[in-house]
Chains A and B, each alone.
Chain A
Amino acid sequence: MSDAQTLRPKSQSRFIVVISELMRRPRAAFGMAVIMVMVFGAVFAPLIMPHDPFEQSFDGLDLMGGPLPPGGDYLLGTDLLGRDLASRLILGTRTSLIIGLVANGIAVILGASVGIAAGFFGGWTAAILMRFTDLMMAFPALLLAIVLAAIFQPSLMIVALVIAMVNWVQMSRVIYTETRSLAEREFIQVQRAIGSSSLRILGKHLLPHLLSSIVVFGTLGISTTVLLEATLSFLGVGVQPPMPSWGNIIFENQTYFSTAPWLVFIPGLLIVLLALAFNLVGDALRDILDPTLKGRHG
């Protein structure tokens, strides 16, 4: 009993506790499973692709030169150029996951930091940071992305950065408002009365309370970023063809929606599934991390 651990909630590693809690909740476990499958697909794409995703096969087109529907040799059918859709989707998982995680991750961290700093310090810091945020908000996001992408050489990482640059503003607005009301609360006052440094108050007391908003807003951002990447690809400043991403598969084929619906539906479904999986995990994470909600999940 004489080690410092008794002051902590549980003596086991926090990480293991959180993971096992996640697995006990069916919806969260489903979300985790979906994410695992997608990560697996992205990592081992070359090994599990049934066909060459770039090969414009003659067999992949019907007699009229149209794409093949799902079934048969090509499991999910082929696209307009006779390429295997299943293989392109598997390879596209790489792009979409990187965009969804990296671009969104940067946006979340940047947006949350700006919001917290402005909300906690107030005064001039807040005035400058928030006016800059407003400026970014007023600027047409797509135009900004096109300009940035045109200046730099288009590559996956640049695309991710560009998306992060236009997506952090909403997050910072939300977090700013919430930090401001939290900073007025009595338990933060107590910290000042104790003599805690600003850094300690921010990290130990404000951040845990903001985490649920950050997680929820962050997971919602994943689908937005995946679609924004698709828009950029469509405009020619995103991921360069013939490299596939879920977004550009939809955009390449959207005009043939009525004759070849699978080309739009299947990648669309995958984007929804990815966003849903992150949302389910995020929701559960928020509940697990809040001790006042313990034992109330349904």
Chain B
Amino acid sequence: MKPDSEIGRGDTARPVLSVRDLTVQVATGEGGKTVLDHLSFDLQPGETLALAGESGSGKSMTALAIMGLLPRPMARITEGSILLGDQDLVGLNDKRYRDIRARRISMIFQEPMTSLNPLMTVERQLCEVLLEHRMCTRNEAPARALKLLRDLRLTDPEQRMKQYPHELSGGMRQRVMIAIALACEPEILIADEPTTALDVTVQAEILDLIRLMQKEHGTAVLMITHDMGVVAEMADRVIIMREGKPEETAPVEQIFDAPRSAYARQLLAAVPRLGHAPERSVKDSAKKLVEVDDLSVRFNVTGGIFNRTVARLHAVEGVSFEIRAGETLALVGESGSGKSTIGKALLGLVPWDGSVRIDGTQTRGMSRRAMRPVLRDIQMVFQDPGASLDSRMTVGEQVVEPLKVHQLASGSELTDRAEFLFQRVGLSNDMLSRYPHEFSGGQRQRVCIARALSLSPKVIVADESVSALDVSVQAQVLDLLQELQDADGLSYLFISHDMAVVDQVADRVMVLRLGQVMEEGPREAVLHDPRHHYTRRLLSAVPVPDPSRTRALLPPAPDAQSPVLALGESFQRVRLETVAGSHRVATGT
């Protein structure tokens, strides 16, 4: 590898951070395993350097090593140096490190809920950082905290100061986290997947904010992400990492226009892009497999000493759709839009009102026992393949468990079925007797798909089924789903927050917001000619993996009706108006 300075931007300024030959080893049962292998880079003042790569590439390890937060005694730095100015951080003791953290290098994490203390108000958490690093006196602290919140464009900063983390939305929490990180005006901000847990629109706002803060304070940002769209939007330079080794280091334009390493090319090819989706054949004549009419799901909110119902959460209100054989309907929307709830209602996993017909059978009011034969026609694949497999059972047993439950096979037939299913999803038969933890994320999701296929269903509800996977694995799983559809004429209800993925797989798209349909229609119409402002907002927030395109600043979100209503109140429904053909848009919002 060439030294960084040759391919940098030619800045003559001294780097604020200079990492040389950083090597980190993790202790395992079989001895030390190198998770970071001779990584070198320079971070210039005011620039954004992105560390991009898939899971296991060592990008988070780099951040932890710089912060001196490697999990001890499991992981340790075996070689190399981390120079902050003239000071080498490797081997620095805890006390000295504390002076550096927050003051000179700050870090924000992926999950803002878990990195804030749930028992302390925003004000106390901000003041704590300020006082700990002696940035001001005790009397000045509240005023400085308030100013920080104001700088980060939080609405109602005075009120936010008195609130606890659980009272804030995900985006607000991440803003508070950034406020805490920037409280001591550090030279370097390390952002470890800062927007991965957030909705796209919130992600766009947070990215805008980080850029703005960087411009105002001249902070150098080390951005750690798996999302090439975020890389394109934020980075000046990029290091593509793979299995602990830097594969390619280059300015962002070069990475996207002319990647030199094979791996970078492969990674970029796997990234789904809006508007680059393959054509899909029209299946209008096929039979209707799922017919949903006026579906509503409401959860009771209880309170008081006697746990009486005091209010109602309208998770889904008056949603109607149908899915034909061999067709994919995509549900898109932000968190809380009710898209997963609709999927669960189809399988009878949540109580619902309205009408749902699965292959002609009305399932309203069915008990779990009565639902059983229906479940042979409709199955579900969940988001997190690790959590949806039982860690104490071999994958082989789990794949054929539905057959046992429905008493469709027994004895040696089960093994034959398991082998057949494993072949279909591209896993080898000698893996059948292994446990889930011995598989990678992508393989686990294949196991889950095999399990869903075991009953030979006609419809599969895929609830964010590829969201937790790396892009290259995601592409493979999407291909698998497409193959299965082509071979068996499976129908999918594809639930996702990722517009680019939806563009790849869907025949028709429904955009949901707070439990109601905002826009629905053929994929081309909804995604390429959006009529509703909410759809447009969602689409414009998607980061584009192309550094030459700059995304316009997102307009502020319009206010919406709260989905939690008191018992007597009636929910104000939107009306859908036909634009053209089956393309329909909500009016009055």
Contact = CB atoms under 8 A, between A and B. Distances in A.
Contacts of B375: 193-195
Nearest to B399: A7
Closest 6 interchain pairs by CB? A7-B396, A186-B387, A195-B375, A291-B435, A186-B388, A195-B372
A104 B402 CA distance: 37
Contact of A6 (B349, B391, B415): B415
Interface string A187-205: 1011011111100100011
B400 interface: yes
Contacts, number: 99
A72 interface: no
B411 interface: yes
A174 B368 CA distance: 29
A203 to B, nearest CB: 12
Given A4-B414, A292-B391, 13 more contacts: A2-B412, A3-B412, A4-B412, A4-B415, A7-B394, A7-B415, A187-B390, A192-B349, A195-B372, A195-B402, A205-B393, A290-B392, A292-B435
Interface in B346-386: 347, 349, 368-369, 371-372, 375, 379-380, 382-384
A291 B391 contact: yes
B415 to A, nearest CB: 5
19 contacts: A6-B415, A7-B397, A8-B397, A187-B391, A190-B388, A190-B451, A192-B368, A193-B347, A193-B349, A193-B375, A194-B401, A195-B371, A196-B401, A205-B390, A205-B393, A208-B393, A289-B392, A292-B435, A296-B29
Contacts of B433: 6-10
Contact of B418 (A7, A186, A193): A7
A3 B433 CA distance: 13
A122 to B, nearest CB: 12
Nearest to B391: A292
Interface in A1-47: 1-4, 6-10
A96 to B, nearest CB: 34
Interface residues of A, number: 31
**Interface majority SS on A: helix, strand, loop or mixed?**
helix
Given A193-B375, A290-B392, A2 B405 contact: no
B366 to A, nearest CB: 11
Contact of B368 (A8, A195, A204): A195
Contact of B380 (A1, A3, A193, A205): A193
Contacts of A186: 382-384, 387-388
B461 to A, nearest CB: 9
Nearest to A296: B29
Nearest to A196: B405
B437 A3 contact: no
A185 B406 contact: no
A130 to B, nearest CB: 14
Interface string B434-472: 010100000000001001000100000000000000000
Contacts of A7: 394, 396-397, 400, 414-415, 418, 432-433
Contacts of A296: 29
A242 interface: no
Contacts of B391: 187, 209, 290-292
Nearest to A6: B415
B117 to A, nearest CB: 22
Interface in A232-267: none
B382 A209 contact: no
B416 interface: yes
Interface centre among A194, A205, A290, A295 (most CB of B within 10 A): A194
B331 interface: no
A9 B405 contact: no
Contact of A2 (B29, B349, B368, B415): B415
Contacts of A189: 349, 382, 388
B389 interface: yes
A293 to B, nearest CB: 10
Interface string B483-505: 00000000000000000000000
Contacts of A10: 433
B387 A187 contact: yes
A145 B375 CA distance: 51
Given A4-B415, A7-B414, A194-B375, A200 B405 contact: yes
A121 to B, nearest CB: 13
Contacts of A192: 347, 349, 368
A190 B368 contact: no
A183 B389 CA distance: 13
A6 B432 contact: yes
B415 A3 contact: yes
Interface string A111-147: 0000000000000000000000000000000000000
A49 B416 CA distance: 60
A208 B402 CA distance: 19
B415 A194 contact: no
Contact of B405 (A1, A4, A194, A292): A194
Nearest to B307: A127
A12 to B, nearest CB: 13
A194 B414 contact: no
A186 B389 CA distance: 8
Interface string B393-436: 11011001110011000011011101000000000000011010
A6 B349 CA distance: 32
A291 B398 CA distance: 15
B506 to A, nearest CB: 22
Contacts of B400: 7
A186 B432 CA distance: 21
B472 to A, nearest CB: 24
A7 B29 CA distance: 26
A209 B392 contact: yes
Contacts of A196: 401, 405
Contacts of A190: 380, 382, 388-389, 448, 451
A108 B451 CA distance: 35
Contacts of B437: 291-292
Contacts of B349: 189, 192-193
Contacts of A289: 392
B425 to A, nearest CB: 16
Interface in B494-548: none
Nearest to A194: B402
Nearest to A190: B388
A19 B435 CA distance: 21
Interface string B12-33: 0000000000000000010000
Contacts of A209: 390-392
A9 B379 CA distance: 27
Contacts of B415: 1-4, 6-7
B392 A208 contact: yes
A211 B162 CA distance: 44
Given A3-B415, A195-B405, A209-B392, A295 B347 contact: no
Interface centre among B372, B375, B379, B390 (most CB of A within 10 A): B390
A290 B433 CA distance: 15
A11 to B, nearest CB: 9
Contacts of A295: 29
A197 B396 CA distance: 20
B394 A8 contact: yes
A9 B389 contact: no
Nearest to B372: A195
Interface centre among B379, B389, B405 (most CB of A within 10 A): B405
A157 to B, nearest CB: 35
A113 B406 CA distance: 26
Interface in A145-190: 185-187, 189-190
Given A7-B433, A195-B405, A291 B368 contact: no
Contacts of B393: 204-205, 208
A185 B397 CA distance: 19
A140 to B, nearest CB: 28
Interface in A280-294: 289-292
A2 B417 CA distance: 11
Contacts of B369: 197
